[in-house]
A and B are shown apart, each in its own frame.
Chain A
Amino acid sequence: MKVNLERIEQTIADTRDRLLVKAVLSGDGRSFAILCSLYRKRISAMGRSFLKNEEDADDFVQSVMEKTFKSLHQFKGESSFSTWLTKIAYNTAINAANRRKEYEPIANEEGIKSRTLTPEENQINEATKEAVREAVKELPEKYGICIELYFFYDNSYEEICSITGLNMNTVKSHIFRAKKILREKLKEFYGK
């Protein structure tokens, strides 16, 4: 039931995005502003992971949004808009001239904190971040980001493959390892 609700939520979001894209293509600038506001946070988070500072990350968001607007007519709806946009952001970040030498995992960020969490949820969130940090630590950048795309950007295996160009088995095995670490970290909660 819970899974179904999440699917319904995803379908609603996809329909919303398709309607907004359609409106933008027929000349409605407001709809593009809505799309930008919906996805600014995740693009900015990716920018902070790849680029050196907050200002660069702001420029990165601007640049991704420009690219998105220019190529919006190419969006055919084969994947969700969010995946398509994340792919543009990922490619822009990988090729950015002013990028960090090493990818800074989003799990290291203090800024990524939801304001509406209960104390227990906060503890669980910290355990997840720790697990991701541990899983990402010894991996090359492109494998590390696929774990973050799964946990923080809420992308499925297939979407991660489409964004990063990695093969399915590689993506699955790295995420599986991260989940195993998370399972260990969450053990203290099971006994309660």
Chain B
Amino acid sequence: MENSNGIFIDGKMKSEQKCEKLMEEYLMLDKNQVVPLHLTLHLLCCKKCRSEVHYLSLAEKIAAKELKADAGLKSPAIKEEASKNPISMTKWIVGGALMMIFLMFFGVTSKNATPELQVLFYIFFAAAVCAYCAVFIATNLDFFIKKIDRLNIA
């Protein structure tokens, strides 16, 4: 009986020491730092530590709430800046025109080229046109969505 009690108390003490050690590790973590896996696993199993961590993180969150700047994402200046396209329309037109000139130039100069080379060129060119169109649509998605919406309404 004494032995089993002794073992029980010893086990409890070890468990408390482990909790204490892991909680100290948690307290050392920085803001928004990822909680290490072994600590996460312990938190999943230990209700007491989980509760402590919950209240500690809640306390930090509440304390920082008052001086935190609002997102302010609805301001016109931000909307305007965010909607600016990184690639201008002029660049798109120049790029497209260059591709067309290159195609025509190849068509004129490659009359004596072998059929294999011609097939290879046209496959390459088709891939380039597809990529050009895909990137153009992706970067101007906002414009296309608005156009489609307008057509649907009409």
Interface residues, chain A, with chain B CB atoms under 8 Å away: 2-3, 6-7, 9-10, 12-13, 16, 19-20, 22-23, 28, 30-31, 34, 37-39, 41-42, 45, 82, 112-114, 116-117, 121, 124-125, 127-129, 132, 150-158, 172, 176, 179-180, 182-183, 186, 189-190
Q: Which residue of A lies closest to B64 (CB)?
A: A154
Q: Is the pair A3, B34 in contact by a Cβ cutoff of 8 Å? A: yes
In the complex, which residue of chain B has the Cβ closest to the Cβ of A121? B62
The A interface, classified by DSSP as helix, strand, loop or mixed, is helix
Asked if B55 is at the interface (CB within 8 A of a chain A CB), the reply is yes
* B interface bracket (residues with beta carbon within 8 Å of A): 35 or more
By the criterion CB–CB under 8 Å, are A19 and B82 in contact? yes
Q: Is B71 an interface residue (CB 8 A)?
A: yes
B6 within 8 A of A: no
Interface string of B44-66 (1 = CB under 8 A from A): 00001001100111111011111
Indicate which residue in A34, A114, A182 contacts B72 across the interface (CB closer than 8 Å): A34
Identity of the chain A residue whose Cβ is nearest the Cβ of B65 in the assembled complex: A114
List 15 A–B pairs whose Cβ atoms lie within 8 Å, in order of A's numbering. A19-B77, A30-B75, A34-B78, A38-B72, A41-B69, A42-B69, A112-B66, A114-B62, A117-B65, A132-B63, A154-B68, A157-B31, A176-B27, A189-B55, A190-B55
Confirm or deny: B70 has a beta carbon within 8 angstroms of a beta carbon on chain A: yes
Check if A180 sits within 8 Å of B67, measured CB to CB: no
Q: Does B133 contact A (CB under 8 A)?
A: no
Question: At the interface, yes or no: B7 with Cβ under 8 Å from chain A?
Answer: no
Is A180 touching B27 in the complex (CB atoms < 8 A)?
yes
With A153-B67, A190-B48, A190-B52: A124-B58 Cβ-Cβ less than 8 Å: yes
- Taking a contact as CB atoms under 8 Å apart, the answer to whether A13 and B69 are in contact is yes
Is B2 on the interface with A (CB-CB < 8 A)?
Answer: no
